[in-house]
Every structure is written in C-alpha cells, then in structure tokens.
A and B are shown apart, each in its own frame.
Chain A
Amino acid sequence: MLCQNCKRNDAGVHLKRIINGEAAEIHLCGTCAVALGIGDTAGSFSPFGGVQGGNLSHADTRRMSNKGIRCETCGFSFEDIARTGMPGCPDCYRVFAGKLRPTLVKLHGRAVFNGKGPSFADGQEASPDSLSELRERLEQAVREENFELAAVLRDEIRSLSEKEVQ
C-alpha cells in the first residue's frame, strides 16, 4: 500500500484516528509521518499508532487504570474494551455506560436512537437520566480526573436543567 501523503513510498505506518467522530485509517510512509507530526510526539510513534485497533482514543486508554468492575455476561472489564476497541457483549454497553459515553459521543455526537426498534420495545419510553443521577456521575468523573466525561455530563446537566426551568 502506498503512502497517502506522497503516494510514492510504501506506507509502513498505519494509524487509526478519530476524525469528526469517524474512525479513519491513515497509511503513511515514515518520512511523511514525521513531517506531518502524526502521532503527537515522535516517541509515541509505533506501527500500531497510539490506539490499538479500535475506536478508543488515548484519553480512553489512559482511563483504563480504573478499578476492576467486570461485565457479568462476558467477563470483560473496561480495560478489555479499551484494549480491543470493542465491548464483549451487549451488556457491556449497560455496565460501562458512563465510561463508554465519551467514545459514543465522539462517534455519534449527542444524537440518540431515532429508528424503528424491535416490536418488544414498542411503547417503552426511554427513561431520562435524572439531574441528581447526572450530578452524582459528574462528581465521580471529576474525582477520577476523567475530564472528558465530566465535560459531557456538565453539558447534559445544563441542558436538562434548562428544560426543567421551562
């Protein structure tokens, strides 16, 4: 495969990055990669990029250090999700809802599902997160220095309290 920048040299560097909420693959030769400053610092520049194979950014990987809750259905911890870039089962989305949220916001924005659900879900209302619940999670996010999640939660609290005033 040729380098996407110079289209001349063989691309030896393959990166996955999140651009506008889209995971995009970038293939560059070593020269162009350094010239373009991809990989933030020269040192972090490995053939696997800063991210291992998935949709999770550096920030998500950093957060891996959080203590070990595991999904009962598949046994995955959040570390496993960050490592593989994928949840292990549908329940992971529920167990790690808070931690996955920044990634989902990056991929899909603030949009929520607006399609046709399965028939068993007809008539079910999405339960809105309550203000107190969100505030609790914001506090926890700040304690864990998870500022990305904190920013998301702060926005949600703001928009929800505006709605409640109306």
Chain B
Amino acid sequence: MSQASSNTQLDAVLSTRVRLARNIDKIPFPVRLNSIEKQNVNFGICRFLSEKGCDLTLTEMSSLYPYEAISLAERHLISPEFASASEGRVLLMSQNEEISIMLCERDHLRIQCTKQGLQTQEAFEGAQIYDELLSSGFRFAFDQKLGYLNQNPKDIGTGMKASVLMHLPALSATGAMARISATASKLGFSVRGSYGDGASVKGDIFRISNTVTMGISENEALTNLKTMALQIATKERAAAEELIKDIGIRDRINRSAGIIENAVLMSSDEMMELLSWVRLGAVYGAVNADIPLINKLFVSMQPATMNVLAKRKLTENERDEIRAKTVKQIFR
C-alpha cells in the first residue's frame, strides 16, 4: 500500500533507454561485411575499450544457446534483431547491465544505456560517455548536414533512439491507446507494445520512443520524450482512478489475484494479463502486492529467461509450473 502514496504519477514508468547508432567511416555497414571483416571491426573496438580501462563483459553471440540470446532481448539488453543472428556479432555489457554495446548489429555500434524509472537525461549521459570515448579512437561516419551516417536512412541525424517503457493498463482497458498512439505519431513518437506482436500487446506494456532525429538536438528530443511520457502517465492515472471505482474492474483485479494465489500452471501470456490487472490494483490501492517484484517478473518469467535462470532448456510444462509458483511471491 505504501507505493500508492509515493509519486503515483510515475508508477506507470518502468524504465528509460537511450540508444546511439554509430558507424566507423570508410567501412561498409555490417550487412556488407564478411565474418572476418566483422571480426576485425569488433576486435578493434574491443581492444580500444579495454586499453581505455573499460570494465565491460564481452560475449560473442555465436557462443550462446539460442535461448540465451533471446533472453537478452527479453531483458531489453539487446535488440530482437541482434538476437536473430549471431555470426560476427559481439555484445559488451557492464556489470550492472545499464550499458550494453552491440557490435555489428545493423550498424557497427549501438551504444545503449538503460535506467530505471523516468531518467531520459541520465540515460543519455550514460550512453554519451562511451560515444565520446569511442569517437576519440575511431572516426565516426558523420556529415555536417545529415549527421551520423547510419545504415537505415531513418536513423541518420542524431542517430539517437530514446524510449520510455510504460505499463498502461487503464488506457488499454478503456481503448484509448489507439488514439494516443495516433497523436503521438503526429508529434514524432512511436508507441508500440513491448511484448507480443503488433496485433496483441501482452501485459499492457508499451515503449514510447522518439522518431525525429533531424532538425532538433538530442536534448530537445529528450525533453520532448519526457514531456510525452509524463502526459501519458497523467492520462493513465486519470483513467485508472476512474476505472478503479468500477465494481466490475475491482472484481477483475481480485479474480486475477485469486488465480495467481491458486494456480498450479501458468503460461506466459496468462501471467502477463494477470500481473497487469494486479499491478493496476496495487498501484491504486485495490490489492496489496509487491510492485517492484511485479516489474521484475514481467521480464524474468519470460520463456527464454526462465531457461537461463534454470541453466537449461525447460519444457513448457516445467516453465508453467515454476512460473505459477514464483508469481505467488508478489503477495508475500
């Protein structure tokens, strides 16, 4: 119940991420490199960073089981694209997992910094440290008018993709997301479900990101994104406060809690839906549950990540059983 009083407006925000796309000048984009050429690019970058004393863990993607790679994407540490192929790809990651640098994704470098909560500026600064360090050792492909020259013409300019991950159950339940997404896209933002395909969003978790990379500075883009996220959070709060008065919704929340307490098997889709209702109830004081733990479970109980935690490939039934057992802990 204590969480309900502390800054409820920001309860909708899960995390903030900033990703910078960079390429080394005069070297073809990764898709045009063979594996030896990619290795050379990766080796050069890794050697430079280790000479500079950076404490980053190196993972060759080709050394991972497929589920280990997918788990990194489930945990938002790499892009799904990076997990989809392993040849010539290297991941550099900081101990606390805030910094991850993808080598030879679609661009030579994707420098990413993730922060909990709404911290656009902080996430940018975290990524910028590595951007500046690397630009002292490599000449990045850059043009005064076009900005950073990246593989996808959409990503030129600042090459910065900043995003905020939000849990928006009330706006989803009231059918407002389509309108919000349309408005956001006119203002230069994209709103996408973070889990599930385009057709169905799992757990009401959305990623709001900037699409404008030209004509405005990084700081303007970050300020705009923050404003956008705050507006959506305010809308979510207003919708939730209305929704929670509805006896049908309270019934839904408490039934979800009841299933979590009693289920023996639980699929990942079912968990996403139940946790979404219970989190809504917990934020607005309708049920008592551990919100930070719910935030963690959204990620850690995804199929591939469960395999990683178990250190082997579990059967679907095994996963569903462990999931049902684990999810109950939100009420302890």
Contacts and interface: CB of A to CB of B under 8 A. Distances in A.
Interface of A: 1-2, 20, 22-23, 25, 27, 55, 73-74, 76, 86-91, 93-94, 100, 103-104, 107-109, 111-121, 124-127
B213 interface: yes
Given A2-B199, A90-B25, A118-B135, A104 B144 contact: no
A126 B144 contact: yes
B152 to A, nearest CB: 6
B149 A93 contact: yes
A100 B145 CA distance: 14
Q: Describe B's contact surface by its main secondary structure.
A: loop
Interface class of chain A by DSSP: loop
A109 B213 CA distance: 11
Contacts of A124: 144
Contacts of A73: 26-28
Contact of A86 (B29, B135, B136, B198): B29
Given A22-B185, A27-B198, A111 B215 contact: yes
B141 interface: yes
B51 interface: no
Given A73-B26, A118-B140, A107 B32 contact: no
A121 B152 CA distance: 22
Nearest to A103: B153
Contacts of A25: 198
A113 B158 contact: yes
B256 interface: no
Given A55-B153, A115-B147, A108 B28 contact: no
A108 B223 CA distance: 19
Nearest to B157: A113
Nearest to A90: B141
B154 interface: yes
Contacts of A126: 144-145
